[in-house]
Structure 1
């Protein structure tokens, strides 16, 4: 083994030791989030299966209930519309962050008939909604902007770890990919499993790490606004959300509304996000296109089809879809689940290899 290979082997080994536990946490939480929607509705039946009535509240009146109850908010997002007559509205609330440790996200579920607050809380609360807590754990380690920065740094170092592993084990790549290796009569099967899983998962793991870095990268450069510098409105918006939705449906029949961003900061537009049925590229799935509306009058400002967006906007959305694995239905999710468990096994096999070598000494 030449000195260069020894150097990269030591680098790979120490990065694995230092970052192994954190990377396992991030990988495992991300894998579980693939099925958030399904498991959430199965586990939380008291939230997602409410008593139905004949008359529903308007979308605008539901928003104003939320705005009145939570006035000191940077942005209110109508995150999930009811999918049937039993489900509630789910709003995501973006709070102001006064320091690096502050978490920004909160949630509230509103009954679509009565306007009752079914449940609310902060994402980082362990006694709240499990998958909201898991989301915060995955993206910021329950530590606000500081956690987002740490996740970015961990991602960069893990990419270095992958590159160092490729350099060290490059001679074994072809044999591993073509199943020319055997587990028979191998004393250190953990080492072999580590090598096999590392090779077979290298492409997807690299995509997930790079896209995760891309998503959290703005946390390294985002400006911090103190409480006294906030320029936010007092009271609700002037525009009517039901009128906005009616206009959207009439003017853009191929546009399916998925969510509505309602900023509380002055001079920021309402953003109606959704998917255009004529966009067939799988990675343009989800709320990739949007329509901007004036918050005071509700007048339309701009319609933006993801296919007509700038290259960096399209790449940002593609990266996001590649990361969350929601672009190809259950087949893609189960594939992500299968490959996504590899880093967990890699972490444990790496620690086991280190422990056995330490034991021999």
Structure 2
């Protein structure tokens, strides 16, 4: 009996300290994550005047825009075209992968370009509010805007929050079924009963979602534990080496190689060892899967180097392909996104109610 009590005390203490240590970060990650569910919609609304373009004549070739970016930013590790399926009145969006050799910065930039005139509409780093506050939030969600140490911190907190959820499920295991069947009622007597019941009820309802969100977030960022990745970030990006073959020709070759692939992400190489890569879902592929299909081409010879199809991969690869949609709520329409906004706010609520419960316990101990 004493062993059981000791185990329960240990689990309860672990749950409390995990929550206290990660509480403020849990709140920040939850708020930023909820905002990012509608990243594109909010960004386009805030910057409508900038991102809306007038279709005038024929759009410039991808190669022209690619080389324009390469001239504008002479030291890049790569360029990604984020919206190859952009509407005719929509600016092209590019992610710029940079490396200044400092681990204190997370070297991501962005550029928005008018595809008809070639005018640069936005240009800057995600560490700054300008060019885009929403993309600043995106990088904050990844790394708290603290560079690689922040990325590692966010990954570690993914583990602590996962452990907090697991220990919480053990502590409240007797209430799980009762909460799901609405047998547990809220007591509105005072702040103590309110915080206690909210923590229990919200924690149970959010249990399944939190396990998914925290695990997928940790898993997608686990490269933060790779010493080799850190070492690479200490070497500044050399001068660009752009593709010998025109980017448009590389794109045509990739699409011909896999005609059932829907372009979602196009990687444009800026260094000699990098490949041109077209990736995205296949036609009729479930929205629960993110990518997993790609065509890689040598930018020097224009030859196809490799092709990957999710349908030909193993079970674990297919499982991993669901992590981003499950983490970001991209597998459904507006109702699913609204649900994810609410889900994103729940961890913050749990951190607040958990802190109140801890404070109540501390006051009781010293009174």
Instruction: Give the TM interval when normalised to the shorter protein.
Output: over 0.9
Which residue, out of 49, 63, 73, partners 1:46? Answer: 49
Which residue, out of 256, 265, 268, partners 2:262? Answer: 256
What per-residue deviation string (whole Å, max 9, x for no partner) do you get for residues 227-271 of structure 1?
A: 6686x5644211212122333444433221122112323222111
Over 3 Å counting, the alpha-carbon distance change for 1:141 and 1:226 in structure 2 is closer
Which residue, out of 250, 269, 274, partners 1:268? Answer: 274
- State the TM-score, normalizing by the size of structure 1: 0.92
- Confirm or deny: 8 A CA contact 2:101 2:236 kept in the other structure: no
Q: Identify the range of structure 1 (1-10 vs 287-296) with the bigger mean alpha-carbon deviation.
A: 1-10
Report the equivalent of 1:61: 64
Distance (whole Å) between structure 2 residues aligned to residue 228 and residue 346 of structure 1: 41
Q: How does 1:2-21 map to 2 (within 5 A)?
A: 2-21=5-24
Over 3 Å counting, the alpha-carbon distance change for 1:336 and 1:185 in structure 2 is closer
Report the equivalent of 1:225: 232
**Are 1:292 and 2:280 an aligned pair?**
no
Distance (whole Å) between structure 1 residues aligned to residue 289 and residue 277 of structure 2: 18
Distance (whole Å) between structure 2 residues aligned to residue 328 and residue 21 of structure 1: 29
Which residue, out of 27, 32, 36, partners 2:35? Answer: 32
SS at match of 1:276: coil
Structure 1, unaligned runs of 5 or more: none
Distance (whole Å) between structure 1 residues aligned to residue 298 and residue 352 of structure 2: 52
SS at match of 1:81: coil
Q: How does 1:335-354 map to 2 (within 5 A)?
A: 335-354=339-358
Over 3 Å counting, the alpha-carbon distance change for 1:300 and 1:195 in structure 2 is same
SS at match of 1:341: helix
1:324 positional shift? 1.6
Over 3 Å counting, the alpha-carbon distance change for 1:306 and 1:233 in structure 2 is farther
1:358 positional shift? 4.3
- Confirm or deny: 8 A CA contact 1:82 1:112 kept in the other structure: no
Over 3 Å counting, the alpha-carbon distance change for 1:174 and 1:88 in structure 2 is same
SS at match of 2:322: helix
Distance (whole Å) between structure 2 residues aligned to residue 357 and residue 190 of structure 1: 12
1:151 positional shift? 1.0
- Confirm or deny: 8 A CA contact 1:97 1:103 kept in the other structure: no
Q: How does 1:77-92 map to 2 (within 5 A)?
A: 77-81=80-84, 83-92=86-95
- Confirm or deny: 8 A CA contact 2:287 2:330 kept in the other structure: no
Q: How does 1:206-245 map to 2 (within 5 A)?
A: 206-223=211-228, 224-225=231-232, 234-245=240-251
1:93 positional shift? 0.8
- Confirm or deny: 8 A CA contact 1:82 1:89 kept in the other structure: no
**Are 1:177 and 2:183 an aligned pair?**
no
1:68 positional shift? 1.0
SS at match of 1:256: coil
Report the equivalent of 1:132: 135
Which residue, out of 279, 288, 291, partners 1:283? Answer: 288
SS at match of 1:209: helix
Report the equivalent of 1:303: 307
Report the equivalent of 1:200: 205
SS at match of 1:271: strand
- State the TM-score, normalizing by the size of structure 2: 0.91
- Confirm or deny: 8 A CA contact 2:108 2:125 kept in the other structure: yes
Structure 2, unaligned runs of 5 or more: none
Distance (whole Å) between structure 2 residues aligned to residue 184 and residue 225 of structure 1: 55
SS at match of 2:280: strand
Which residue, out of 135, 156, 159, partners 1:156? Answer: 159
1:146 positional shift? 1.1
Alignment root-mean-square deviation, CA: 2.1
1:86 positional shift? 2.0
- Confirm or deny: 8 A CA contact 1:263 1:270 kept in the other structure: yes
SS at match of 1:118: strand
What per-residue deviation string (whole Å, max 9, x for no partner) do you get for residues 146-180 of structure 1?
A: 11111111111112211221222222222112111
SS at match of 1:80: coil
Distance (whole Å) between structure 2 residues aligned to residue 137 and residue 112 of structure 1: 29
Over 3 Å counting, the alpha-carbon distance change for 1:234 and 1:193 in structure 2 is closer
